[in-house]
């Protein structure tokens, strides 16, 4: 089911791109006309990784600083947070968890602009937000989110494209379904050969590829019971370097953009220290181990990168004798306070 749902992501994205066009445009106009002193994201798990991608786009393209809200400040501490001139963005597959719903309701009641990109448009989160827009991923059966994560990234990019009123980014989004289908055909079997017997792995990204590293690390844990830690390439030498030993596996996402050169250099250095590096990079990088698909613009590359990863991850789980659709101790909807 995980593999089937991952392979359906392109069709889900095509449906999303054909839907809610006026609503996104209206939201873009609202965001352009409103002055924000604070911008926050509110999410858990894979959705939090999607929020990290959204935050990166907002900061890089619009110059607004975005922070991730520790939800317990609202749900448990009952802290008197200032809500005026605030933009609060939540992303969720189910829209059910109280610790996501309550902060959105809190900020909306305080006059903030609240946005929910949510798969279940009848969920409590959708009803709590002023601006609720469906992901259009359809029902997702596998516990491991795939198509809902990809549609979350696309929805975030659509919001930013309309906010910025950027025709190039909008055009790049329209080309995504074909790019996603191409991504499913990339051969990442060398990763399965190395990781099927592995006990741990470090997943590395930087800049716009870091949210993909976070998501990949989570999927390794939940679908393959593989101890995985995700780090920014800039953080490796601040302590994680001590973990590196002969044969230690590293998956490095070197997507296009200003951070790519440093990640390629890191891959070479880690190989020199004996690590078993799986360098995922575009086809023009000769030293790559895995080919990263590319989108119409580098800012959309993480979306097709995670698509290629998901196909491999589902096959890796099977190779390790596990069921990626029903990870132990996990359920599809998680509710925390």
CA 170 vs CA 39, 52, 152, 284, 324: distances in Å: 23, 20, 16, 25, 34
Among all chains, which residue has been given the structure tokens 């939090």? Answer: 48
Active-site residue (options: 78, 147, 221, 332):
332
DSSP state of 159: H
Q: What is the DSSP string of 253-314?
A: E--SSTTHHHHHHHHHHHHHTT-EEEEEE-TT-TT-SEEPP--SSGGGHHHHHHHHHHHHHH
Q: Kindly tell me if the per-residue pLDDT of 330 is higher than 50.
A: no
Environment class of residue 62 by beta-carbon count within 10 Å: exposed (0-12), middle (13-18) or buried (19+)? middle
Strands 113-118 and 86-92: parallel
Q: What are the start-end ranges of the H helices in 63-114?
A: 72-75, 98-109
288 close to 177: Cβ distance less than 8 angstroms: no
Q: Kindly tell me if the per-residue pLDDT of 325 is higher than 80.
A: no
36 close to 174: Cβ distance less than 8 angstroms: no
332 carries an active-site annotation: yes
pLDDT tens digits, residue range 118-166? 999 999 999 999 999 999 999 888 878 899 999 999 999 999 999 999 9
Secondary structure (3-state) at 115: strand
Q: Kindly tell me if the per-residue pLDDT of 38 is higher than 80.
A: yes
Cα gap 187→184, rounded to integer Å: 8
Same fold, 1-165 and 182-320: yes
pLDDT tens digits, residue range 45-86? 999 999 999 999 999 999 999 999 999 999 999 999 999 999
pLDDT tens digits, residue range 76-128? 999 999 999 999 999 999 999 999 999 999 999 999 999 999 999 999 999 99
Token pair for residue 175?
């080309």
Q: Which sequence spans correspond to the domains of the chain? A: 1-165, 182-320
Q: If one looks up domain 1-165 in CATH, what number appears?
A: 3.40.50.10490
pLDDT tens digits, residue range 208-218? 999 999 999 99
pLDDT tens digits, residue range 181-218? 999 999 999 999 999 999 999 999 999 999 999 999 99
Cα gap 106→91, rounded to integer Å: 16
CA 276 vs CA 136, 168, 191, 281, 335: distances in Å: 39, 38, 10, 16, 38
Q: Which helix (H) or strand (E) holds 227?
A: strand 227-232
Cα gap 266→200, rounded to integer Å: 19
Superfamily of domain 182-320: Glucose-6-phosphate isomerase like protein; domain 1 (3.40.50.10490)
Task: Give the predicted TM-score (pTM) of the model.
Answer: 0.95
Cα gap 100→105, rounded to integer Å: 9
Cα gap 152→24, rounded to integer Å: 14
Token pair for residue 77?
């501490």
pLDDT tens digits, residue range 9-26? 999 999 999 999 999 999
Cα gap 211→216, rounded to integer Å: 9
How many residues can be counted in the chain? Answer: 337
What are the residues facing 200 on neighbouring strands?
Answer: 227
Cα gap 106→184, rounded to integer Å: 41
């Amino acid at each position: 089911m995980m593999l089937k749902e991952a392979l359906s992501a392109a069709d889900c994205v095509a449906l999303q791109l054909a839907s809610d066009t006026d609503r996104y445009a209206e939201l873009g106009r609202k965001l352009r006309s409103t002055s924000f002193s604070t911008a926050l994201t509110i999410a858990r798990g894979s959705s939090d990784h999607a929020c990290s991608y959204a935050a990166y786009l907002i900061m890089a393209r619009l110059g607004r600083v975005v922070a991730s809200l520790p939800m317990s400040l609202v749900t448990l501490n009952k802290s008197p947070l200032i809500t005026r001139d605030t933009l609060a963005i939540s992303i969720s597959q189910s829209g059910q968890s109280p610790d996501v719903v309550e902060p959105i309701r809190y900020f909306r009641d305080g006059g903030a602009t609240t946005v929910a990109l949510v798969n279940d448009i009848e969920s409590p989160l959708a009803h709590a937000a002023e601006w609720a827009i469906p992901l259009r991923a359809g029902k997702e059966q596998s516990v491991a989110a795939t198509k809902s994560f990809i549609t979350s990234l696309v929805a975030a990019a659509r919001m930013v494209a309309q906010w910025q009123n950027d025709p190039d980014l909008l055009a790049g989004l329209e080309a995504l379904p074909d790019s996603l289908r191409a991504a499913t055909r990339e051969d990442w079997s060398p990763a399965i050969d190395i990781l099927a017997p592995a006990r741990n792995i470090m997943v590395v990204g930087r800049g716009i590829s870091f949210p993909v590293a976070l998501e990949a690390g989570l999927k390794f844990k939940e679908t393959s019971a593989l101890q995985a830690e995700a780090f920014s390439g800039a953080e490796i030498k601040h302590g994680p370097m001590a973990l590196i030993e002969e044969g230690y596996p590293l998956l490095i996402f070197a997507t296009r953009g200003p951070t790519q050169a440093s990640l390629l250099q890191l891959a070479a250095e880690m190989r020199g220290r004996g690590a078993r590096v799986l360098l995922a990079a575009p086809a023009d990088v000769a030293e790559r181990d895995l080919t990263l698909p590319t989108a119409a613009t580098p800012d959309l590359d993480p979306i097709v990168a995670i698509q290629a990863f998901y196909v491999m991850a589902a096959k890796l789980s099977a190779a390790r004798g596990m069921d990626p659709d029903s990870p132990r101790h996990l359920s599809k909807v998680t509710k925390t306070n």
